Structure 1
């Protein structure tokens, strides 16, 4: 497990039609503040503020194809050559990071191949590096290259 300490955020929030919204700085839009979105927004701030990943190299909630299925990944980080580098699957804090969750991000990786895979529910974060068709568990997230 990787220890992630979320930085103090300066989120912009509002309420509309009885629903809480949060402004996503990456997507440049207001989105509904669900438990999963809370994890995603805090993790994004950790990546940008603490790990110094450039915000301009981060994609959020983009559609990918898995055969004939259309799915959305949570976070995709690109390297300096604009190649997919890290895929992150976020879950709400009350969702266990089971083998099923790991399989989900591995399936997404079949469509968009990346060297690093991450799953997080805000309380727990796990990451792997892909080496020779195997997943190697990481003790911390890699530095952005």
Structure 2
């Protein structure tokens, strides 16, 4: 099995900042997942990793489970 997503949850009092994103990105150096999700219960961010082009794209919504496991759609 291969992980597809990392989810990082913080307390509502913790603002989602670049430092929080850097923390989840550091975890991903080892796991190499397709999606990163950050939330404090008030703000939610999700990005899809594009390893081929060495970039990431923030998404409007967190994808459904079926969508991340059927990438050809």
* TM-score range for the pair, normalised by the shorter chain length: 0.7 to 0.9
> C-alpha distance in 2, partners of 1:97/1:141?
16
Structure number with bigger Rg: 1
1:83 is displaced (CA, Å) by 1.1
Structure 2 gaps, min length 5: 67-73
- The runs of at least 4 aligned residues of structure 1 exceeding 6 Å deviation read none
TM-score with structure 1 length normalisation? 0.43
Structure 1 gaps, min length 5: 1-81
1:142 to 43, 48, 63: 63
- Across the aligned residues of Structure 1 and Structure 2, the Cα RMSD in angstroms comes to 0.8
Equivalences, count: 64
> C-alpha distance in 1, partners of 2:4/2:22?
18
* Greater RCO, CA 8 A, separation 6+: 2
TM-score with structure 2 length normalisation? 0.83
> C-alpha distance in 2, partners of 1:133/1:117?
15
> C-alpha distance in 1, partners of 2:56/2:32?
13
